[in-house]
Amino acid sequence: MKITVLNGSPRTKGNTAALIAAFTEGAESKGHEVTVLPVGTMKIGGCRGCEYCHTKGGGTCVQKDDMEQVYPALAESELVVLASPVYYFGLTGQLQSAVSRFYAVMAPAAKKWALILTSGSPNVYAAIEAQYKGILNFIQAQDLGIFEYNGKQVGTEAALREVRDFGASL
Ligand SMILES: Cc1cc2nc3c(=O)[nH]c(=O)nc-3n(C[C@H](O)[C@H](O)[C@H](O)COP(=O)(O)O)c2cc1C
User: Would you give the distance in Å from CA 27 to the centre of its chain?
Assistant: 16
Which of 13, 117, 119, 147, when mutated, tests ligand 1's pocket best, judged by the most ligand atoms within 8 Å of its CB?
A: 119
Q: What is the pLDDT of residue 129?
A: 98
Which of 86, 92, 123, 153, when mutated, tests ligand 1's pocket best, judged by the most ligand atoms within 8 Å of its CB?
A: 86
Nearest CA to ligand 1 atom 25: 14
Q: What is the pLDDT of residue 92?
A: 98
Would you say 98 and 67 are in contact if contact means Cβ atoms under 8 Å apart? yes
Report which DSSP code applies to 80.
E
- Closest listed residue to residue 66, CA positions, set 83, 41, 91: 41
Q: How far apart are CA 143 and CA 157, in angstroms?
A: 24
Q: Ligand 1 centroid vs 130 CA: distance in angstroms?
A: 18
| CATH assignment at residue 46 | 3.40.50.360
Extended beta strands in the chain, E state: 2-7, 33-37, 79-85, 112-118, 142-149
What sign results for the dihedral spanned by CA atoms 72, 128, 38, 169? Answer: negative
Would you say 122 and 111 are in contact if contact means Cβ atoms under 8 Å apart? no
Would you say 120 and 150 are in contact if contact means Cβ atoms under 8 Å apart? yes
Q: Please tell me the total count of domains within the chain.
A: 1
| 104 to 61, 123, 151: CA distances (angstroms) | 6, 32, 35
Q: What is the pLDDT of residue 70?
A: 97
Q: What residues are in contact with ligand 1 under a 6 Å CB criterion?
A: 9, 11, 14-17, 85-89, 118-121, 124, 154
Could you list the pLDDT tens digit for every one of the 170 residues in the chain?
A: 999 999 999 999 999 999 999 999 999 999 999 999 999 999 999 999 999 999 999 999 999 999 999 999 999 999 999 999 999 999 999 999 999 999 999 988 999 999 999 999 999 999 999 999 999 999 999 999 999 999 999 999 999 999 999 999 99
**Angle, helices 157-169/15-29, rounded to nearest 10 degrees:** 40
Domain encompassing residue 136: 2-169
Q: Ligand 1 centroid vs 27 CA: distance in angstroms?
A: 26
